[in-house]
């Protein structure tokens, strides 16, 4: 198939450091190419891919530092896509809804994966208005707030099986927190759990400018403890060692997480996940197999004490079975095929066959 993948421009594909959506787009794009599809990636100019790259900004907008408003650049990207729409069997958007008026009622075969939270009330009139356009969820929980729309499928994220190395022991003996420091990710809970369990907590996380005041006022004072180590934002090359060395990943979220990529990254290393029961957690974590789902600090600390009874090899096997990039790409191709029936063969092609 001839497939267009359209990525956000905030981060490169793949991101240099933090970035969930762009990372998933990268894994999917590379796997589709590996499977023999003709893929074109519309993304920032500093992206790296084996597909054809159409650079839609000089660099990722977050890294450029001079882009105050991403909308003008996004509109120019849509213009580039419009000029080439007829080349593709399917256009797969990972960029929310800005393209909706351009693909509706034009016979364009377009699919949109919704990567963000869908419980914001301002979104609902828009999705009701465009309820005929096919969309994909990344967890069933993510769908709950939505009005009736055209769900084309639910596709859990997947990782390349050779991306992160398996660690049989979690020899570092610490607890891990990986991601972003913001109120809904609840690093404060992770710190409380670690202190209650009496184990070190290593924090690999970025602080966005919008969350700087929260970090300074609420989190920074909690980091001044001998059991807490803040190491900042880390890249892909450091994740395997960081997650693999952990006794468990703490995921004490306080929001309707649409998926939670870090949970399956930990599982790929064989590291169990201790998570609060929010959002997609029950669709990702299998209690007693790949981790524990808890309701508070005391319960989480008890889970930390019991995590050694889990088989890290089984954690890895469950990851391989449920969250591989091959499975993710296969499910997307099935959806592409259902939306993009075979094109008619032109007469000159038939004569030359």
DSSP characters over 242-285: HHHTEEEEEE---S--S--HHHHHHHHTT--EEEES-TTHHHH-
* pLDDT the model gives residue 236: 81
What is the percentage of the chain residues whose pLDDT exceeds 70? Answer: 95
Q: Is the pLDDT of residue 346 over 60?
A: no
pLDDT per residue as tens digits for the range 146-182: 999 999 999 999 999 999 999 999 999 999 999 999 9
What is the spatial distance between Cα 123 and Cα 154, in angstroms, rounded to a whole number? 19
Q: Hey, what CATH topology would domain 174-322 get?
A: Rossmann fold (3.40.50)
Give CA angle at 312 (306, 314), nearest 5°: 110
Mean per-residue pLDDT for 32-40? 98
Omega prior to 14 cis, within 30 of 0:
yes
Q: Is the pLDDT of residue 65 over 60?
A: no
**Which residues fall within 8 angstroms of residue 154, CB to CB, at 6 or more apart?**
136, 137, 138, 139, 140, 143
* pLDDT the model gives residue 300: 98
Whether 2-158+325-352 shares its CATH topology with 174-322 is answered yes
Mean per-residue pLDDT for 52-61? 93
* pLDDT the model gives residue 190: 98
pLDDT per residue as tens digits for the range 274-289: 999 999 999 999 999 9
* pLDDT the model gives residue 209: 87
Which whole-number Å values give the CA distances from 279 to 145, 239, 255, in the listed order?
11, 24, 7
**Reported pTM:** 0.92
* pLDDT the model gives residue 66: 64
The CATH architecture one would assign to domain 2-158+325-352 is 3-Layer(aba) Sandwich (3.40)
What is the spatial distance between Cα 9 and Cα 96, in angstroms, rounded to a whole number? 12
* Domain residue ranges of the chain, discontinuous segments joined by +: 2-158+325-352, 174-322
**Which residues fall within 8 angstroms of residue 188, CB to CB, at 6 or more apart?**
218, 219, 222
pLDDT per residue as tens digits for the range 38-49: 999 999 999 999
Mean per-residue pLDDT for 244-268? 97
Q: Is the pLDDT of residue 344 over 90?
A: no
* pLDDT the model gives residue 353: 37
Which whole-number Å values give the CA distances from 333 to 84, 87, 106, 326, in the listed order?
21, 17, 22, 11
pLDDT per residue as tens digits for the range 1-24: 999 999 999 999 998 877 789 999
Lowest-confidence pick of 230-244, 270-284, 330-344? 330-344
CB-CB neighbours of 91 under 10 Å:
27
* pLDDT the model gives residue 17: 74
* pLDDT the model gives residue 155: 98
* pLDDT the model gives residue 267: 98
Q: Is the pLDDT of residue 350 over 70?
A: no
Q: Is the pLDDT of residue 342 over 70?
A: no
């Amino acid at each position: 198939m001839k497939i267009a993948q359209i990525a956000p421009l905030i981060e490169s594909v793949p991101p240099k450091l933090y970035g969930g959506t762009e990372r998933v787009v990268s894994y999917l794009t590379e796997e589709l190419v590996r499977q023999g599809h003709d893929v074109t990636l519309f993304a920032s100019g500093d992206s790296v891919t084996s597909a054809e790259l159409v650079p839609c900004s000089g660099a990722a907008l977050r890294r450029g530092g001079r882009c105050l408003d991403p909308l003008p650049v996004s509109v120019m990207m849509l213009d580039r896509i419009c000029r080439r729409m007829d080349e593709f069997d399917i256009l797969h958007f990972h960029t929310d809804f800005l393209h909706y008026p351009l693909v509706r009622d034009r016979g364009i075969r377009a699919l949109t994966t919704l990567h963000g939270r869908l419980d914001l009330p301002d979104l609902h009139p828009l999705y009701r208005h465009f309820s005929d356009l096919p969309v994909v969820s990344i967890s069933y929980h993510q769908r709950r707030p939505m009005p009736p729309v055209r769900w084309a499928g639910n596709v859990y994220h997947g990782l390349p099986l050779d991306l992160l190395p398996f660690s049989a022991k979690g020899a570092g003996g610490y607890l891990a927190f990986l991601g972003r420091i913001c109120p809904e990710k609840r690093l404060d809970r992770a710190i409380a759990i670690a202190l209650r369990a009496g184990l070190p907590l290593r924090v690999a996380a970025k602080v966005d400018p919008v969350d700087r005041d929260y970090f300074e006022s609420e989190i920074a004072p909690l980091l001044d403890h001998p059991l807490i180590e803040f190491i900042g934002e880390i890249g892909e090359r450091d994740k395997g060692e960081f997650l693999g060395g952990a006794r468990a990943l703490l995921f004490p979220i306080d929001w309707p997480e649409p998926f939670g990529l870090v949970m399956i990254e930990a599982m790929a290393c064989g590291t169990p996940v201790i998570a609060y029961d929010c959002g997609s957690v029950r669709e990702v974590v299998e209690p007693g197999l790949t981790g524990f789902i808890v309701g508070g600090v005391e319960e989480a600390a008890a889970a930390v004490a019991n995590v050694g009874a889990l088989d890290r090899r089984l954690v890895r096997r469950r990851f391989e079975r449920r969250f591989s990039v091959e499975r993710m790409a296969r499910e997307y191709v099935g959806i592409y095929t259902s939306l993009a029936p075979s094109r008619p063969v032109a007469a000159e092609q038939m004569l030359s066959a």
